[in-house]
Structure 1
């Protein structure tokens, strides 16, 4: 379910029932792109059941799913067609179209070809922990997370969120762990990281499937190459990549997490959700603690 984690703190005082959220999201339910539409974004059923609920509550945790469809035309195709049309105008009228007319020609061609464009669909999982006032977005980039937040704030009355920040930056903490070769309590450093020079060279060193408790790695960090990504495992249960921007990527639940878990098809969604949120509710506070704790914003 979750492969990435971007964390937000929900403003104090916000609360909503499942029924409240369902009603609010229904007005922004996902609808496929129209023939001439470039992009469509809206909420869809987390369980994948047509016309089903747009919010699911599992063990007190709320799960939503945002769907995005985009249609794209290669710029080279539009330019080629526009050049052909401009050449035709010049040949038949002896007049050379100006910049404004050429832009209009390109816009017309785009509208004509859009129904033939291939569409691309993607979706983003959203988890709200109403008790901890925590919002987690399974987005691979901050830009996509911002898009989700915009939709949430637009749909859910009174919702205000802020990116979680820590007293120690991930870069500073990861540097310390690599130099001292002492990860924080409850964590182990795995065999993947990225180091980037802070000077104008922007030199990058990447390690994959390579031990990081070596003099070479320590010397790189001490010489000014800062860690931007570091692979970690928490409590021998969850592995992930911590980034300089406090994003968690490549999230993977290890086999021990699933010991004794039901694999029945009927409760697959509930089981996956309960496992993922149950583990993350314990792991994420430990991640924040390892970074000096959360900065409390006024």
Structure 2
């Protein structure tokens, strides 16, 4: 289940029950991207059988899952639409658009294309060892792990999360 685990130390208070943790996570529950939003992220249920619970506590560890959704709009699509709009502008005004006008046309094209863009979702798993106060995040990229950490800190007041430092390199331990 976890392939690319990054470890963090938790400082501060952690919710004392699964229900309490789930209530905290509900504040930042997942909402899909709106027509003009590029990215959205929030907590989702760990298990379909869990009902509305956004956390699962098993054997002294909490399991949580963050879902991120982004709209996929390649720059080449925007630039292609921009070329069409620049040509229409030249036909209409009998002159080339200024740099400021090009920026406006590009923003206009992006805003029109964004609601039609495909949505892509990814899910990041995390677990908290309650005894050791260690957070493990299954994320291959730093940006995904940071997004998880920021969202978790926003969901639980007074929680400080810092990367775990090992005394020996991990590959020597394995």
TM over 0.5: yes
Shift, 1:95, TM fit? 2.7
Matches within 5 A, 1:134-145: 134-145=134-145
Say whether the 8 Å CA contact 2:9–2:164 is kept in structure 1: yes
Alpha-carbon distance between aligned partners in 1 of 2:80 and 2:8, rounded to the nearest angstrom = 45
Unaligned 5+ residue runs, structure 1? Answer: 175-183, 185-286, 291-298
SS in 1 for 2:48: coil
Question: 1 or 2 for the larger relative contact order (CA 8 Å, sep ≥6)?
Answer: 2
Unaligned 5+ residue runs, structure 2? Answer: none
Matches within 5 A, 1:191-270: none
Shift, 1:38, TM fit? 1.1
Alpha-carbon distance between aligned partners in 2 of 1:76 and 1:132, rounded to the nearest angstrom = 48
Shift, 1:15, TM fit? 2.9
| Alignment match, 2:58 | 58
- CA deviations on 1:66-98 (whole Å, 9 max, x unpaired) are 001111111111111111111111112113212
Alpha-carbon distance between aligned partners in 2 of 1:121 and 1:134, rounded to the nearest angstrom = 26
Say whether the 8 Å CA contact 2:43–2:67 is kept in structure 1: yes
Asked if residue 38 in structure 1 is aligned to residue 27 in structure 2, the reply is no
Alpha-carbon distance between aligned partners in 2 of 1:155 and 1:15, rounded to the nearest angstrom = 11
Rg comparison, structure with higher value: 1
Say whether the 8 Å CA contact 2:31–2:41 is kept in structure 1: yes
- CA deviations on 1:219-271 (whole Å, 9 max, x unpaired) are xxxxxxxxxxxxxxxxxxxxxxxxxxxxxxxxxxxxxxxxxxxxxxxxxxxxx
| Alignment match, 1:16 | 15
Shift, 1:62, TM fit? 0.5
Alpha-carbon distance between aligned partners in 2 of 1:47 and 1:91, rounded to the nearest angstrom = 57
- CA deviations on 1:196-238 (whole Å, 9 max, x unpaired) are xxxxxxxxxxxxxxxxxxxxxxxxxxxxxxxxxxxxxxxxxxx
| Alignment match, 1:85 | 85
SS in 2 for 1:3: coil
| Alignment match, 1:149 | 149
Asked if residue 108 in structure 1 is aligned to residue 108 in structure 2, the reply is yes
Asked if residue 120 in structure 1 is aligned to residue 125 in structure 2, the reply is no
Distance 1:60 1:166, change over 3 A: closer
Say whether the 8 Å CA contact 2:19–2:53 is kept in structure 1: no
Q: When the two structures are superposed, what TM-score results if normalisation uses the length of structure 2?
A: 0.91
| Alignment match, 2:160 | 160
Shift, 1:169, TM fit? 4.1
| Alignment match, 1:6 | 6
Alpha-carbon distance between aligned partners in 1 of 2:49 and 2:97, rounded to the nearest angstrom = 52
SS in 1 for 2:66: strand
Q: CA RMSD in A?
A: 1.8
SS in 1 for 2:76: helix
Say whether the 8 Å CA contact 2:42–2:66 is kept in structure 1: yes
